[in-house]
Every structure is written in structure tokens, then in C-alpha cells.
Amino acid sequence: MDFNTKFRFRKFPVYQEARKFSIELKILATKDFPKEEQFILTAQLLRASLSIILNIAEGSDRSTDKDFAHFLNQAHTSLNEVVSCLDAALDSDYISHAEHVLYLEKAAGLADQITAFRKKLLQSPTK
């Protein structure tokens, strides 16, 4: 069975990139954050990164492109939350400045992809 046909979101580059980013964040948080942050900052960061993926998936099966664009906007707001968590991690010295910049660059690239996809949907004739 072709699961990418059944679940079309799996073939979207933005979904694939969001999955990779989420995995990288999980590795970062479990490696660099202290154990006492497990149920606070670590959990929040991982929930926010998962929310990006889930919103792309959920929105992909909406009946209109406008509805899908709304879920992409939700994915973008979750990405903003990830960036805020990265700022908090830097402020608490859980990650280095270099790591912070690296993950902000990845977040910016993902934000650009989400924005471009959203704009394309809103410009399509089946709004």
C-alpha cells in the first residue's frame, strides 16, 4: 500500500522537514537540558515541535485550501513557541550560543517553508 497517497501530508517537503527538526530538538533537549527540566522546558519544547507536525497533518485533509492555510498558521505559531523555548534554554545556559544560532537558522528555514506553502494555498483558485 502506498501510504503517501493515503496520507498526502507525508509527501510535503515542509512536513518532512518539520519531522527532522522535531527529532533534532528531541536529541538536543534530552542531551543538553538538565533532568529537572524534563517536565518543564523539555516537555514544552517537545510538545511545540510535535504540534508543528500535527497541524500540517491535520490541515492537509481539510476541505478547502483556506482551512489548510489556517492549520499552517497554527504550525507557524507552534514554531514560534519552539523559538521561545530555545531562547529560554540559552538564557538558562542549557545550550551554547552556537547551538542557539544553529537551531534558530533551522527554525527560520522551516518558517519560510510554512509561509510559502500557506501563501500558495491562499492564492489557489479553490480558496
Domain spans of the chain? 3-123
Report residue 39's pLDDT band, with 50, 70 and 90 as the boundaries: confident
pLDDT digits (tens, 9 = 90+) for 94-106: 999 999 999 999 9
pLDDT above 80: residue 124: no
Predicted confidence (pLDDT) per residue in 46-89, tens digit? 999 999 999 999 999 988 999 999 999 999 999 999 999 999 99
* CA distance linking residue 90 with residue 123, whole number of Å: 38
25 pLDDT higher than 60 = yes
CATH code of the domain occupying 3-123: 1.20.1440.60
